[in-house]
Amino acid sequence: MAPLMLFVKNGEKANVVVRGARVVDPSEGIDATLDVRIDNGVIAAVGENLDANEHRVIDAKGLVLAPAFVDPHVHLRTPGREDEETIASGTAAAAAGGYCAIMAMPNTDPVVDSAATLGALVETAQREARVRVGFLAAITRGQHGEELTEMAELAEAGAVAFSDDGVPVRSAGMMRRALQYSSITGRPLALHCEEPSLSHGGHVHEGAVAAELGFAGYPSVAESVMVERDLALAGYEEQPIHLLHLSAAESVAALRRALENGVHATAEVTPHHLVLTDEAVRSLDSNVKMNPPLRAERDRAALLDALRDGTISSIATDHAPHARHEKEVPFEAAPFGVTGLETAFAVLYTRLVKPGLLSLEMLLERMSAGPARAFGVAQPRVAPGAVADLVLLDLEREWQVEETAFRSRSWNSWLLGETLSGAVRATIAAGSLVHEA
Ligand SMILES: [Zn+2]
Ligand SMILES: [Zn+2]
């Protein structure tokens, strides 16, 4: 089995002492005011009154230092749509958002379904990526759902997992064969669960808001029946799956039952599904149009409960950049997807942690250790000997989301103009200081 690989440019390794931060690492059971010394990109010491060793000292009094974030679901739009995002811009956005690693989806143009296409991305990442990138490869050729890709070869070439994200694998038989092959590669399948014959033509959640606005509805059962199918197949084949961007209460219930029955599944939820409902669609802002759509309050509440109890172990942005001209059209004509790398922590801190709906520790865990475990990549830790993958957060700082401040090439954010609390002051990824603000 090929070893798991993420790719990053070889940056200058940090020699830094972070002085007097509140160090919070839920996995290590740390929540204390401490110094952290980084020698040549590796955490050398965690303690009180550490010697600066002639390193640069970052005064972090009043700030929180935590394991940097891992995003299991990002669209980097390359190859094919470099006007919307590139590996350089997407990883700069990730660094600004506090991420040390991101997983890139293969629904590009061309689709990442061959070792040659994947190899070109790996080379670009080794030149341009500020934070580690794990590349997913397609499950089926061209994501057409008709023929499996050469999964073993793709795993050898560096694929971290497999996904047809953007579209579901329609055929149950094809999904079963993909699960059988994934046992050879040792890589999970990351699944976009949507039954097209039920979601068909829908722009927003099927409910009162869609009916009032006269939009075709995309019912929650379009997701949950596919979640049930894929959990059943994963259980039958005893293979791991990762469920992308869950949105519906019924999907959560199905996942909970499957986990009780020993199915090896992980799942993620996005910031927008955690804090918004289909009521937001009344604005007709195309930046609240995403797939799966924003759903009802009972769905949002179920997702938050599942995040709290660990049924859903990862927060994913599903960062989906789109060009302005594509989004500045009537709601029904706009493509699905919103950006999220640069706002994920702040919006969840502002809307969930500050009002007491989620603890800071749990938010940090679900944005870092949870997704790292789901993909089997090294978990960022605040511990001597670990490569420095750290985020320095200013919880007191308020800032306004402005399109001119984005590092991403796109600004189709549903948070434009909003004031958020909690800012990323610095990110250290793979031992290099990759962002400072
Ligand atoms: Zn998707
Ligand atoms: Zn996606």
Which residue blocks in 280-392 are alpha helix, DSSP H?
Answer: 297-309, 324-327, 344-348, 360-366, 369-375
Neighbours of ion ligand 2 (CB under 5 A): 165, 318
For residue 140, name the pLDDT band (cuts at 50, 70, 90). Answer: very high
Instruction: Check if the beta carbon of residue 139 is closer than 8 Å to that of residue 167.
Output: no
pTM: 0.98
Calculate the average pLDDT of the chain.
Answer: 97
Short-list 27, 61, 63, 32, CA closest to 47: 32
Mean pLDDT along residues 417-423: 98
Mean pLDDT along residues 345-371: 98
Neighbouring C-alpha atoms within 13 Å toward the C-beta of 55: 24
Instruction: State the first-to-last Cα distance of the chain, in angstroms, to the nearest integer.
Output: 41
Mean pLDDT along residues 340-349: 98
Which residue blocks in 109-150 are alpha helix, DSSP H?
Answer: 115-128
Percentage of the chain exceeding pLDDT 90: 98
pLDDT at 147 > cutoff 80? yes
Gap between the Cα atoms of 342 and 354, Å rounded: 19
pLDDT at 77 > cutoff 90? yes
156 CA → ligand 1 middle, Å: 25
pLDDT one-digit tens code per residue, 100-128: 999 999 999 999 999 999 999 999 999 99
Mean pLDDT along residues 366-393: 97
The catalytically annotated residue of 71, 299, 318, 394 is: 318
| Range 189-217 burial, b when 16+ CB lie within 10 A, else e | bbbbbbbeebbeebbbbbbebbeeeebeb
Gap between the Cα atoms of 313 and 16, Å rounded: 32
Give the number of the ligand closest to the Cα of residue 72. Answer: 2
Provide the pLDDT for residue 3: 77
Short-list 358, 352, 269, CA closest to 315: 269
For residue 53, name the pLDDT band (cuts at 50, 70, 90). Answer: confident
Provide the pLDDT for residue 201: 79
Beta-strand pair 42-47/265-269: unpaired
203 CA → ligand 1 middle, Å: 14
Provide the pLDDT for residue 396: 98
230 catalytic? Reply is: no
For residue 212, name the pLDDT band (cuts at 50, 70, 90). Answer: very high
Provide the pLDDT for residue 2: 73
Instruction: Check if the beta carbon of residue 132 is closer than 8 Å to that of residue 103.
Output: no
For residue 200, name the pLDDT band (cuts at 50, 70, 90). Answer: confident
Rg (CA), the chain: 21
pLDDT one-digit tens code per residue, 324-337: 999 999 999 999 99
For residue 437, name the pLDDT band (cuts at 50, 70, 90). Answer: very high
pLDDT one-digit tens code per residue, 277-297: 999 999 999 999 999 999 999
90 CA → ligand 1 middle, Å: 18
